[in-house]
Structure 1
Amino acid sequence: MAVGRSMTARTAAQLTALLLLGAVLLALGLAIGSLGWSPWTDSDETMRLILWDIRAPRSIGAWLAGALLALAGAIAQGLFRNPLADPYLLGCSAGASLGVAALLFVMGVSPAAAALALRVGMTGAAFAGAVGAVLLTLMLARGVTQSLRLLLAGVVVGVVLGSGSALLTLMNPDILRAMQAFMLGSTGFVGWSAVQVMAGAMVACLLVALGCSRTLDALTLGEDTARSLGQRLTLIRLLLIAALSLATGAAVAQCGLIAFVGLVAPHLVRSWGPTTHGALLLLSPLTGGALLLAADIAARWVIAPQELPVGIITALLGGTYLLWLMHRRGSTLGGSR
């Protein structure tokens, strides 16, 4: 009982701290633009338009995209019982890349194809590609009953679809710049409609994930134990994979491929102390949102007035953190001998 109360109090404190951090970062996001620091309290009409139409949706959208990727990462790591699982495990990233590459490719084929492509848009193409990749993975894995088969199918789908997008880019080099921007990730084109889509996806995925959190706790003891506790694993896996796919697809469609946020955020939460999956699924999105929003602010500010792709910032920070984590654990294991 005392341990449970201690964990609950710690989770509440962490939740409050992450909410405050998100609020501070959001204020910074409103105050930093392409020219660096510019006060968001300015009464100028033009500045108000910039704040409302550009910086506000971009900052909120960056937070939501990070939260979606972190939630997807926490789901993937719990579902597959693998700390290296990330949101792109089931081929979402390769499918989204192929969808965008196919859209850009057909735009140069004929006027009719270009008109259709413009109606679909890069966001729609990326989301359709991500969902299609997950469905193909499920088809190859023959359902969700075997985790290892799902993982292998996801790897195969990722390699094949990634080769397809590379082939389309090779056949039409004119699309290389647009594909590069998508592959490196960017929050510069996020508007209020994108914020609404990601917010809706966030609410739906979080509710599903929290509803399945007890099953994820049971899975840490093994599948046989989870079944003996009365958990309906097949149904729960389907729901979690649907939430994982929707969260990843929504984030990728709006912001492109952003590395490491979904992998690192759950690790950070676990490093703060033991936690249940219920708490992990609440804290990981807040952590991921703060990480991506901080990276987006840095991307705007570091070389202003130019802007770095936010995916480069997250890759550098995430890779550095994981290397440090490996070194620390290796030193601990070496010292224990």
Structure 2
Amino acid sequence: MTHGSRRRRDGRLIAGLVVLVGLLFMFSLGIGPVWLPPDRVVQGLVGQGGEAARIIVVEIRLPRALLALMIGATLGLAGASLQGLLRNPLASPSLFGAPSAAAFGAVTVISLGIVNVLSIALPVAAIAGALLSVGLLLLVAGPRASLLVLILAGLAVSSLAGAGTALALNLAPNPFAALEIAFWLLGSLEDRSMRHVLIALPFMAVGVVLLFWDRRAFRALTLGEEAAQSLGFDLTGIRLRVVAGVAAAVGAGVAVAGSIGFVGLVAPHLVRPLVGHDPGRLMIPAALSGAALLLAADISVRLIPSTSEIKVGVLTALIGAPFFIVMILRRRSTLAGGGA
């Protein structure tokens, strides 16, 4: 396939995904206890459909849809970046401990009774936890650490943050605080406001810039680290930028929505058969795929009959865990076939 035909194919794929994300976004604005058709949604967005439609669309559903789009896109992008950096399709954003550290920061302030799950101070604490994890990671691994050392340090940071979260839950001052923590950890976009969107957006924007910065380097890394170095790429700088980008983008998502797993793992795999194994070409489709996946999951939790809304993090885990198992089995079969 020529370069021009690849670009046209990628363009068609990206255009199709943009249309899909747009349709899911509009559907997300219409779905809920009160169904609003597309024309009422548009009227509510521009303030011409009456005060009730404006409140439902702009103040209740728009922040939720925006967060689903933003968090899904950054998770998909982070997953594609890590898979490109590690040259491993099973890599996910949780690898370097930022999501666990963000959860620990949020859970700590809830446990201490400083804030509740709808407080604007909660995202601040969670983002601080994610950024602290990067500092701890670099302190443990060193600024010029190898990839293996970075991964091991990330696992250590993630385990420490997970233990801290469990301790905070165990030492919750009352059953109500423990229940609040438990529900937040399940991951949800319910009852979020534009304040949550605005506080997460700068950190996500920085993370996206850092992850896109090394798009060409991911292509070179498919040839191996020595080949990438011979082409003039600074591997130490690339690793630090990717770790910091994942921490900022994914940490901000966890900060405002709780723990939402497997999107960063699944999203790149949904589009990889259509893109191929070039990590640079995969990044934009993976981001759009992640946005579509989380929007669809958030729509689904509102459609599933239940006495209380199912948490979106639970649904993504129910879908993502079997997908992850299938990926491992396929990879094992591939390795076994190659060994034979």
Same fold (TM over 0.5): yes
Q: Deviations over 1:184-240 (max 9, x none)?
A: 111113322322344444443333323311111111211111111111122222222
Q: Deviations over 1:250-289 (max 9, x none)?
A: 1111111101001111122212241532221111110000
**Does 1:37 find its partner at 2:35?**
yes
Q: 1:168 to 1:323 in 2, by over 3 A?
A: closer
Q: 1:30 to 1:131 in 2, by over 3 A?
A: same
CA distance in 2: counterparts of 1:323 and 1:13, whole angstroms: 31
Residue 140 of structure 1 is matched in structure 2 by 140
Q: Deviations over 1:162-182 (max 9, x none)?
A: 112211211225322121122
CA distance in 1: counterparts of 2:68 and 2:11, whole angstroms: 24
Is contact 1:208–1:239 with CA below 8 Å preserved after alignment?
yes
Match of 2:65 among 35, 39, 59: 59
With 78-87 and 247-256 compared, the bigger mean Cα shift is at 78-87
CA distance in 2: counterparts of 1:128 and 1:285, whole angstroms: 24
Gaps of 5+ in 1: 108-113
CA distance in 2: counterparts of 1:286 and 1:118, whole angstroms: 28
Is contact 1:40–1:51 with CA below 8 Å preserved after alignment?
no
**Does 1:122 find its partner at 2:122?**
yes
Question: What's the TM-score once normalised by structure 2's chain length?
Answer: 0.88
Count of residue pairs the alignment pairs up: 329
Cα deviation for residue 304 of structure 1 reads 5.6
Is contact 2:10–2:275 with CA below 8 Å preserved after alignment?
no
Cα deviation for residue 82 of structure 1 reads 2.2
CA distance in 1: counterparts of 2:99 and 2:112, whole angstroms: 20
Which letter does structure 1 place at the counterpart of 2:215?
S
Q: 1:283 to 1:264 in 2, by over 3 A?
A: same
CA distance in 2: counterparts of 1:217 and 1:266, whole angstroms: 15
Cα deviation for residue 246 of structure 1 reads 0.8
Is contact 2:68–2:189 with CA below 8 Å preserved after alignment?
yes
Residue 278 of structure 1 is matched in structure 2 by 280
CA distance in 1: counterparts of 2:125 and 2:201, whole angstroms: 20
Cα deviation for residue 21 of structure 1 reads 0.2
Q: Secondary structure at the match of 1:272?
A: helix
| Percent of paired sites with the same residue | 38
Q: Secondary structure at the match of 1:83?
A: coil
Q: Secondary structure at the match of 2:89?
A: coil
Please list, as runs of the form range in 1=range in 2, the aligned pairs for 1:74-153 lying within 5 A after superposition: 74-107=80-113, 114=114, 121-153=121-153
Which letter does structure 2 place at the counterpart of 1:18?
L
CA distance in 2: counterparts of 1:120 and 1:39, whole angstroms: 32
Please list, as runs of the form range in 1=range in 2, the aligned pairs for 1:279-298 lying within 5 A after superposition: 279-298=281-300
Q: Secondary structure at the match of 1:257?
A: coil
Please report the RMSD computed on the Cα atoms of aligned residues, expressed in angstroms.
2.6
Is contact 1:205–1:243 with CA below 8 Å preserved after alignment?
yes
CA distance in 2: counterparts of 1:319 and 1:79, whole angstroms: 23
Gaps of 5+ in 2: 41-48
CA distance in 1: counterparts of 2:163 and 2:273, whole angstroms: 36
Which letter does structure 2 place at the counterpart of 1:133?
S
